[in-house]
Every structure is written in C-alpha cells, then in structure tokens.
Amino acid sequence: MVQFDILTLFPGFFEGPLSESMLSRAREKGLISIRIINIRDFTTDRHHVTDDYPYGGGAGMVMKPEPIVRALSELKETPPVPHIIYLTPQGSLFNQECARHLAQKERLVLLCGHYEGIDERVRLHYVDEELSIGDYVLTGGETPALVVLDAVARMIPGVLGNEESFRNDSFYTGILDYPHYTRPEVFEGESAPEILLSGHHKNIDEWRRRQALARTLKFRPDLLEKAPLSDKDRRLLEELKREIASGDDRKE
C-alpha cells in the first residue's frame, strides 16, 4: 500500500481522473490511498490568500510559503514519514526507473505549484525531491502530479490485473515495447503477423524481442546505450543495422 497526499490549489482537477480506470480500482482494492489536500485550507487570513507579488518585481504571482508549510507540517504529524516531491520543470526528469523506485515508498506527497511556482525557501527546506515530467512548462503541477501518480501506481504489485503487463511496457526493460495486434485477423486488407497466430510461444517471444529492438533502434536509439542487452540482442541489433543499411528492413 502506498499513500499519496496531493497538495493543490485546485482539488476539483483530480475528481475525474481518480474516479476512472486503474486508479479508481486500485483505491477500491486498498492498494493505494489518495488524499487531495487543498492548500487554501491552511491559510489563516480572512480572504484565504495563497499567492503574492514577487519580491524584486516582474510578471506573475508566487505561492506563499506559510500555507504550504502548515499543510506539510500537519501531514508529518502522522506516520509513515512522507517523501515530499515538488513538481517543477526545473526538477530531474521523471522516468520509468524513478516510478519503480517511488513505488517502493510507503508515503508520497506530491506538491503542485501554480503561477510562477512556490517561494524558494519551501523548495530549499521542505522538499525531498523535485521532479519534472518534461522540458516544457505547464500551468500547474496538477497534470504532472497525475502523471507521476499513474506511473507509480501501476508499478505497485496487484494494481494491474495482469502483473506481466507492466514488465513488457516500454522502458521497463530499457527498450520500447513490441507491436500489439488483436482481432480481427484481417483489418482493411492487412493481416496480423502470421507468427502471432501460430501458437508457438518460443517463436512469438523471439519475434517480439526482435520487433522491440527494431523499433527502439528506429525511434529511440539513445535507449540502447543504457539498456541491459544480452549477447543475442546485440547480434540481432547488428543484423537489424545491416538490414537498414541495405534497405531490407522495409520488408518487416
């Protein structure tokens, strides 16, 4: 069981995504718990102000430190000790390995920024880790929090019906996933690969591995530099490179 506490100024943002599909089922099964905490509830002034003008001037507003720190302090009063993550485009790039690592924690706090972000002193003294979901800027940390929540939740044992499915996913093994086909056998004149209908599991596994390597080579060759590859994989890759060089890969 992993407990997620999401700190946001926009709790309504999460209503739809949390009530559908995998996240909803995982909550029902008691495999994850998700609490949406409104930072505004931790203001003490009459107007519930959560942002203010930036010192030094400039465009945009900055999220005030006090409500966030009050919310975090209250969360820390109950065990287990939370791992506090601030979503920011300045954080380290979130990836599958990071999701797998976070799925082993007992409790995660996902702090969503808005406007120009949060007061730097909160980042410096209250945050354990900063994560970015990509090199672009979104309006708020809510979408990134959902991305992290989804990717981490599906790594938790029991969350996916079929445990195998995340093991084959792109990036889990360091390379891209193989192509998938389902019924009908012939769609718009194009047949599903014969080998997948053969029932010969060993050949199917080999075909899938070759396809996964081929598309990684084609679309994300950078992944191959770090992926754990067997000698057989390396031989296959050499073969695939030769096929590309001779134009033979278009037959696949």
Ligand X SMILES: C[S@@+](CC[C@H](N)C(=O)[O-])C[C@H]1O[C@@H](n2cnc3c(N)ncnc32)[C@H](O)[C@@H]1O
Site residues for ligand X per CB under 6 A: 87-90, 112-114, 116-117, 132-134, 136-141, 144
Are the C-beta atoms of 171 and 96 separated by less than 8 Å?
A: yes
Has 249 been annotated as catalytic?
no
The minimum distance between CB 98 and ligand X, in angstroms, equals 13
Task: Give the burial class of 2: count Cβ atoms within 10 A of its Cβ; 0-12 exposed, 13-18 middle, 19 or more buried.
Answer: buried
Residue from 150, 169, 177, 243 carrying the catalytic annotation: 169
- Residue 89 a catalytic site member: yes
- Min CB(170)–ligand X separation in Å: 20
Measured in residues, the chain has a length of: 252
Nearest residue (beta carbon) to ligand X? 113
Is 27 exposed, middle or buried, given 0-12, 13-18 or 19+ CB atoms closer than 10 A?
middle
Least distance from ligand X to the Cβ atom of residue 106, Å: 23
Catalytic hit among 5, 89, 119, 210? 89
Q: Which of 40, 154, 209, 220 is catalytic?
A: 154
The smaller minimum CB distance to ligand X, of residues 61 and 192, is found at 61
Contact by Cβ (8 Å): 67, 114: no
* Residues 6+ away with beta carbon under 8 Å from 59: 116
Q: What is the DSSP letter of 118?
A: B
**Amino acid letter at 211?**
Q
Q: Which two tokens stand for residue 111?
A: 């702090």
What minimum distance in Å lies between the beta carbon of 62 and ligand X?
A: 9
Q: How far apart are CA 123 and CA 60, in angstroms?
A: 18
Catalytic residue among 51, 66, 116, 130: 116
| Closer residue to ligand X (CB): 57 or 80 | 57
When the beta carbons of 153 and 240 are compared against ligand X, the nearer one is 153
Q: Is 167 a catalytic residue?
A: no
Cβ nearer to ligand X, comparing 114 with 215:
114
Active site residues: 89, 116, 154, 169
